[in-house]
Structure 1
Amino acid sequence: MSFHNAEATLRETMASLLGQTFREWELIAVDDGSTDASAAVVASFADPRVRLLQPPGRGLVPALNHGAAAVGGDWIVRMDADDICHPERIEKLLAFADTRPDLDVVASQVTVLDPLGDGLVRFVEWANQLLDHDAISRGRFIESPIVQPSAMIRRSTFEDIGGYQDPIWAEDHDLWLRLLESGVRFGKVAEPLLQWRDSWTRLTRTHPRYGDDARSRMRARYLSRLPGVGEHGIVVAGAGPIGKLLARHLLDEGVTLRGFFDVHPRRIGERIHGAEVADNTRLGSLWRDGVLISAVGVPGGRQQVLDLALGRGYQEGGDFWSVC
């Protein structure tokens, strides 16, 4: 658990950890340069299982990796300093992992604590539906398929992948993408075991690494490394803002942009980044060997493109992926 100026929530968070039914845990609490009384709050919990580390404050990713390096157990269980654990969270995660030795990442469903709008609620409703490895894998480019503080990862797997990296985009989503790319298998307990707090100070609301441009660059980087993309290029379904931005970033990655499909009459026949925009009725016959990416951001658009693609013989998670 990394924390920075979390005095207001740490007591409740710490109490939820100390109340776990599974008792054989150790908390590595990393102070990332706090200027309030956060460290004193952690130190006030006189429990030998609580270890407070205070490295030089260098930001979230160095703090997370510093803490992970101090872990002695077989599993790293993530926690944020403003969230609340279900009393049986660790017990149920470990019990699930015991029944599924093929899994190296185990997470749970979550509930939103103090939501500030419906955006985070909609995301959680979507993420909570991704329970098995295949669903998590297929959803990897839409949003982060795992809520980071709900996750538990084998320490050996975390070390093998090189821990958290510090790219220009979200460090947690990047970790899941690297693990999925490497063949690591995921699973999720079909029960909310974490209350995930919303706030106006969340990094996802305030830091550009979690914004649209950074997210698009991340998607392009990992899409460019999918099987078949280097040989056959990519076709984008959706010539709106999301598709245009993604196409530009794919070109930056050296990917061949075969073309676009769209339904808007004014877009059909245009050229975007040098590629033709074709009517979506030609999907499945034109540029069929290219990997198809759905980038339609309007409500219901993802399902419409999915239904069309499946009807034309595409395989989701193979030669077809959605990014929104």
Structure 2
Amino acid sequence: MTASVTPMSHTRVMGIVNVTPDSFSDGGLYMTPDRAIAHALAMVRQGAEILDVGGESTRPGARRVAESEELHRVLPVIKGLRARRELDAVPVSIDTVRARVARAAVGAGATIVNDVSGGLVDAQMFGTVARLGVDYVCQHWRGFGADMTERARYGDVVGEVHEELAERVAAARRAGIPAERIIVDPGLGFAKLGEQDWQLLGHLDVFTSMGHRLLIGASRKRFLGHLLGGREARERDAATAAVSMWCALHGVWAVRTHEVSAQVDAVAVAEHLTAIAAPNPLPGAGLAEKSRCRGSVRRRFG
């Protein structure tokens, strides 16, 4: 059975499976297929609804790996995940910028291609995804990790990211990828610095209004560490959960995270509060409004 992804009315948690030695948070922890698969199974037990497998680090300053090495890292993991019956209903995503890796991964059982470059690295990516008929994450991107910091120059970061992302989506559509297969991602941390990431999170409506599912990857990223006084990556999970809750309150389709259980809890709380508040105002809201009205009357006529 091959899992597929359809839009849902709640925010999903996408668990990160880094089969890399140099990822910024968990590099080297899951380099063998057995360890990576065990980690993925643990995340699913904690509530992850999608697994994102990657074999090349995209952190700032990261160096590229050979295509053959990337394939060697990810294919055994994807095949191993698809062989587990308890994961039949869990979609697997391949995190890659290479069309050949995407094609091989889909052949092994992946049903989502998560391309952080939005098709800018490999000219064959859009056409390959269109032919494969799978979902495609189109992320905003301005360059590889070695020089992405230098590219973080914006006059209006929200407007420019939206415009550049919309251009990549249009190119994907022209190449034959159906609109319903496209997921957009503003690319937090990719050629973005500190306050620029916060600006994007503060204007999620700009990206949810694009008409596609929205994926947000804030997990353990530097802008959270800066807010928390330089806290190390693995000490940023509570802050990540706060962002996950914010995303759930703003209609984000999925959040991509290293840690799952706290994110699942944060999403559950956000969605429960939303369900309570939607049909009925929160308790006390009417009283607060009446109080404001009385104060206004006193100011005008008292």
Structure (1/2) with the larger strand percentage? 1
**TM-score tier (shorter):** under 0.3
Higher relative contact order (CA 8 A, sep 6+): 2
Structure (1/2) with the larger helix percentage? 2
Alignment TM-score, normalising by the size of structure 2: 0.28
